[in-house]
Copies of this chain bind each other. A is one copy, B any other.
Amino acid sequence: MNSSDDLSSTPSALLSAYSGTRPERLPVWFMRQAGRSLPEYWKVREGTEMLESCLRPELSAEITCQPVRRHGVDAAIFFSDIVIPLRLAGVDVDIVRGVGPVIGSPVRTAADVDRLTALPGGDMTAIREGVGLAVRELNGRSEPVPLIGFGGAPFTLAAYLVEGRPSRDHLAARAMMHADPAAWARLMTWAADRTAEFLLAQIDAGARAVQLFDSWAGSLSVTDYSERVAPYSARVLSAVEGLVPRVHFGTGTSEILTLMRDTGAEVVGVDHRIGLDEAVRRLGPSTVVQGNIDPALLAAPWDVLQRHVEDVINRGRSAAAHVLNLGHGVPPETDPGVLTRIVELAHAR
């Protein structure tokens, strides 16, 4: 039972699409729509550290709802960070502005892995409360808007844990999977279970879908993804199987789209590198796709961007259903008015 049961009789455009039925209205939302591109976000977050703001329920709920109020998007996505379950488990991790997640003690050896994986999962109360507050507002709208929960895929979490900070090629993490497969398996299993708990808490509090972000999966060879990463992403997605639709997203993943789908996702997020028609050709026509406006085009003149968005929509017609989104997160310097215009364009069709 959750607080969004009252929505079940009127499925939203988003949930129709996620379940494979093309709705009348093209649903649209934007990865990273909550947060850094909005002035109202910087106003409410003033004086609060990034991860701290994710753990204050009133604040995370407020930030989650801001883009829904402003843009009229078809979904909220919970404002949080993929490293939150690590922080809640007791890992020394912080978000450094201009850098990204920084880990106090990077996990480099089997002994480091043992110390880390001895940590049990953390208390998800703040997550449940934040989602619950947001869902209450979203359900109270004249047209209720579903909330998407999210979490980081085990490889992307492991890449941060092993490297200690964002890196280009994730060499240390990719070395560990070959140099010490047993330690790698323990690390990935632990990371998978932390994200699964994070997703379950969000679903329990009213999330109607979840998205698994494997931001760095595109750095992997097809073989490494298949053998040393996908099984752990499948572990996460199977933990929420049957509860809500599952979206799986990464960048630079054109070679592994079907492998990502086969971890247990009903919906595959596609970045800007290949056309949605080509993605559908690879995935087959029964997979739902999400994407893939090039974030770089958000800075182009409107007529150029409009042509691009229309091209994305046209290429998405070959899929069972399509949820319009970017191919990656909203860049921080984006003019939010441009996002509102894309929503209007999508809904006017």
Where the two chains meet, the residues of A that have a C-beta atom closer than 8 Å to any C-beta of B are 168-172, 174-175, 178-179, 218-223, 252, 254-255, 272-275, 278, 294-301, 304, 308, 328, 331
How many subunits of this chain does the assembly comprise? 2
> Would you call B299 and A179 a contact (CB within 8 A)?
yes
The docked-state distance in angstroms from the alpha carbon of A168 to that of B166 is: 11
**Can you identify 27 A-B contacts, CB atoms within 8 angstroms?**
A168-B168, A169-B328, A169-B331, A170-B296, A171-B296, A171-B331, A172-B299, A174-B294, A175-B298, A175-B299, A175-B300, A178-B296, A179-B299, A179-B300, A179-B301, A218-B252, A218-B273, A219-B273, A220-B273, A221-B272, A221-B274, A221-B275, A222-B273, A222-B278, A252-B252, A254-B254, A255-B274
> Would you call B297 and A175 a contact (CB within 8 A)?
yes
The docked-state distance in angstroms from the alpha carbon of A294 to that of B222 is: 12
> Would you call A171 and B299 a contact (CB within 8 A)?
yes
Contacts A169-B295, A179-B299, A297-B178 known; A222 to B304 CB distance under 8 Å? no
Contact partners of A298 in chain B: CB under 8 A: 175
The docked-state distance in angstroms from the alpha carbon of A149 to that of B290 is: 43
Contact partners of A252 in chain B: CB under 8 A: 218, 252
Contacts A299-B175, A299-B179, A301-B179 known; A221 to B169 CB distance under 8 Å? no
Contact partners of A278 in chain B: CB under 8 A: 222
